[in-house]
């Protein structure tokens, strides 16, 4: 253990952290660039909306495969090897996307991108908890939060401007040079952090994890368009659910689990993870529904829709390091309570949208909502991991990031489904109540717009209810220090016994 501390003190944390932060910025920016470009890609490659949507779905599915095995990767390979591999894959995938002569090549590029990006978040989080002492982790995580929160929020605005003025290829050719430069700097600056070992990869666990998370994520990603009762979606849920159940059972029986479910014995980690999952679902509800409301119902351009999201993203970027410092001083409870209180109020205000709600109202409410999120997300994430011993951190980051990714997918599918289904129901009620004839196109259009807004309001009202649950749970957060690592010790003994037998 003393060897690790000595090695860590020799590392120049500033330059190393800066390079990793820059890599995270371009990777997170990439997440939201593609969405606004989908209509142009449909025209360019002559594909349907369902086919184009695979560019988003495949990224999610590959993340679902990669993120759960990051704990194994961080145990098997050192920080330098993993970071260079992840940024190298991301840069290569971005280049493939930019030059793609066909849709299939573009899809392959997205797979390679996702394989690299999926490793980054757990890896950087683990490095922060290794090279920074507990009283500095909040601030470091706050700085990292700039990349996590600001970049995805800027993506739609940047993408909207590029799509209106240039080709979709520019989206990737803007990111590629930065990814390549970061990779080159990383060769000289990123150092090895912590110890590595040669754990045995649970191949059956990887297969079950891939089928399980892949099936469930695919089901949620396509359920809204293909119908929740369609045979394909139900089959994916069934296969995914059974595989996940077998995967969880297997993780309790092998000596080197891929995802360590025993860390849920730590109460504060479990509590903050539940709050994190609920908050992530709430955050994604706004990020996916608001652009739909702005463009489809209010008739704003993609650029104007992206600009609506921009102030909230900038505010989150500004607040992240400030929140980190506040966390180091006061802990997570009151930051989480305050952030969730703001989120409840603003989400409820978004549940009062109408067909003629002003642009300024939407911008102000959404921006204040993102402010609430900014003083909530990183503190609860850091508070949960702070309870774990350093040797368990890789398992904690892998678990939280896996659940956040699933929560994001579930949140998007769940709230879009509520918005769509309730909107259709309200449209039918309006047509029936007002006895509107299908031939009356103007009144039909008004009824569809009114019903759609009511569907949006219903989705945000349910999001408000979910946030209230997280708000109540936040009062039980308390400050903790790293607990004794009984899990790794027990697994080591179990592995030794297996070898002896």
Is 70 exceeded by the pLDDT of residue 491?
Answer: no
Residue among 185, 66, 44 nearest 117 (CA): 66
Residue among 441, 438, 470, 401 nearest 121 (CA): 401
The highest-level CATH class for domain 1-200 is: mainly alpha
Band of pLDDT at residue 9, cut at 50, 70 and 90: very low
Is 70 exceeded by the pLDDT of residue 20?
Answer: yes
CB 375 within 8 A of CB 364: no
Band of pLDDT at residue 345, cut at 50, 70 and 90: very high
Which of 203-212, 338-347, 431-440 is most confident? Answer: 338-347
As a CATH number, domain 264-495 is 1.20.1250.20
The per-residue pLDDT for 245 is 94
Is 70 exceeded by the pLDDT of residue 11?
Answer: no
Q: State the pTM of this model.
A: 0.79
Q: What is d(CA 448, CA 427) in angstroms, rounded to the nearest whole number?
A: 5
Q: What is the 3-class SS of 306-318, one letter each residue?
A: HHHHHHHHHHHHH
Range from 50-54, 141-145, 317-321, 473-477 carrying the lowest mean pLDDT: 50-54
- In the predicted model, what is the mean pLDDT of the chain? 84
Is 70 exceeded by the pLDDT of residue 388?
Answer: yes
The per-residue pLDDT for 498 is 47
The per-residue pLDDT for 364 is 94
The per-residue pLDDT for 96 is 95
Higher pLDDT, 126 or 276: 276
In this predicted model, what pLDDT tens digit does every residue of 134-152 receive, in sequence order? 778 888 888 887 777 777 7
Which residues does 137 contact at the CB level (< 8 Å), separation at least 6? 128, 129, 328, 382, 386
The yes-or-no answer to whether 1-200 and 264-495 have a common fold is: yes
CB 463 within 8 A of CB 340: no
Q: What is d(CA 165, CA 173) in angstroms, rounded to the nearest whole number?
A: 15
Is 70 exceeded by the pLDDT of residue 7?
Answer: no
* Domain boundaries defined on the chain: 1-200, 203-253, 264-495
Band of pLDDT at residue 497, cut at 50, 70 and 90: very low
Q: What is d(CA 103, CA 40) in angstroms, rounded to the nearest whole number?
A: 12
Q: What is d(CA 335, CA 380) in angstroms, rounded to the nearest whole number?
A: 9
The per-residue pLDDT for 493 is 55
Is 90 exceeded by the pLDDT of residue 442?
Answer: no
Range from 5-19, 64-78, 242-256 carrying the lowest mean pLDDT: 5-19
Torsion angles phi and psi, residue 399, rounded to 5: -65, -50
Structure tokens at 234: 């139900």
């Amino acid at each position: 253990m003393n060897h690790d501390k000595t090695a860590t003190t020799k590392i120049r944390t500033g330059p190393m952290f800066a390079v990793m932060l820059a890599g995270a910025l371009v990777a997170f920016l990439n997440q939201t660039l593609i969405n606004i470009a989908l209509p142009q890609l449909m025209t360019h490659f002559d594909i349907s909306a369902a086919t184009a949507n695979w560019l988003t779905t495949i990224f999610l599915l590959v993340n679902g495969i990669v993120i759960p095995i990051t704990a194994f990767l961080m145990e098997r390979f050192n920080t330098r090897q993993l970071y260079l591999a992840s940024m190298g894959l991301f840069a290569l995938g971005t280049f493939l996307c930019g030059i793609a002569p066909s849709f299939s090549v573009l899809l392959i590029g997205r797979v390679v991108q996702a394989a690299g990006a999926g490793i980054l978040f757990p890896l950087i989080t683990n490095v922060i908890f290794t090279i920074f002492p507990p009283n500095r982790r909040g601030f470091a995580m706050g700085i990292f939060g700039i990349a996590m929160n600001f970049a995805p929020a800027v993506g739609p605005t940047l993408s909207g401007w590029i799509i209106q003025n240039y080709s979709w290829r520019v989206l990737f050719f803007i990111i590629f040079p930065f990814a390549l430069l970061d990779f080159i700097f990383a060769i000289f600056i990123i150092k090895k952090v912590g110890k590595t070992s040669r754990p045995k990869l649970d191949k059956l666990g990887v297969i079950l994890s891939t089928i399980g998370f892949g099936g469930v994520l695919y089901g949620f990603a396509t359920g809204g368009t293909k119908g929740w009762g369609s045979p394909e979606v139900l089959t994916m849920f069934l296969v995914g659910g059974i595989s996940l159940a077998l995967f969880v059972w297997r993780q309790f029986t092998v000596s080197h689990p891929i995802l360590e479910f025993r860390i849920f014995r730590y109460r504060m980690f479990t509590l903050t993870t539940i709050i994190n999952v609920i908050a992530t679902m709430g955050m994604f509800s706004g990020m996916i529904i608001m652009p739909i409301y702005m463009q489809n119902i209010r008739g704003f351009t993609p650029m104007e829709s992206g600009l609506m999201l921009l102030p909230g993203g900038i505010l989150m970027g500004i607040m992240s390091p400030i929140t980190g410092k506040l966390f180091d001083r006061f802990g997570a409870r009151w930051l989480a309570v305050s952030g969730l209180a703001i989120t409840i109020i603003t989400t409820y205000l978004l549940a009062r949208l109408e067909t003629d709600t002003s642009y300024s109202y939407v911008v102000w409410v959404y921006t204040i909502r993102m402010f609430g999120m900014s003083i909530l997300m990183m503190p609860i994430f850091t508070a949960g991991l702070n309870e774990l011993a350093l040797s368990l951190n890789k398992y904690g980051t892998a678990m939280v990031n896996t659940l956040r990714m699933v929560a994001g997918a579930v949140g998007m599918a769940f709230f879009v489904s509520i918005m769509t289904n309730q909107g259709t129901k309200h449209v039918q009620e309006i047509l029936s109540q007002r006895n509107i004839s299908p031939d009356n196109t103007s009144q039909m259009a008004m009824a569809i717009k009114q019903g759609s807004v009511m569907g949006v309001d219903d989705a945000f009202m349910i999001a408000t209810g979910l946030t209230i649950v997280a708000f109540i749970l936040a009062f039980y957060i308390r400050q903790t220090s790293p607990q004794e690592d009984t899990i790794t010790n027990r697994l080591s003994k179990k592995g030794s016994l297996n070898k002896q037998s």
